[in-house]
Structure 1
């Protein structure tokens, strides 16, 4: 699954276009490397999201193509 789509489906970022812009501006890191929006993610990868002074780190637990609202918690585990 694409990184921008995962961020939206896991409800870490509200819209996919915002996720894409965050990747382009260098605020998203996948396995400690700056990531592009089209990067493929898999279970076990780590994500770091930087928004101003705040930072969110965590691990991809499960990839669900069409998650419901209650499934989003199973997709990402923050550190």
Structure 2
């Protein structure tokens, strides 16, 4: 499954166009490698997403083409959430 579609279906990012922009800005890494919107996501992959001043590390648990809102969070596990401080 494409990265931008996974982010939308899992509801980590609400819209696919926004997911594409975030990926193309280089703010997502999969298994330590910068990822584009078209990067293929597999179960077991670990991704780091930078949202403004926050960095979230998640593991992909399941891939589904469509999923109900209540079950979307079952597609991934949040491993770590950290706030990014200002560098001096």
How big is each residue's C-alpha offset from its partner over 1:3-44, in whole Å with a ceiling of 9 and x where there is no partner?
000000000001000000001111011111110100111100
TM-score, structure 2 as length reference:
0.86
Structure exhibiting the larger radius of gyration computed from Cα positions:
2
Say what the alpha-carbon RMSD is for the aligned residues: 0.7
TM-score, structure 1 as length reference:
0.96
Runs of 4+ displaced beyond 4 Å: none
Q: Which runs of 5+ in 2 are unaligned?
A: 80-88
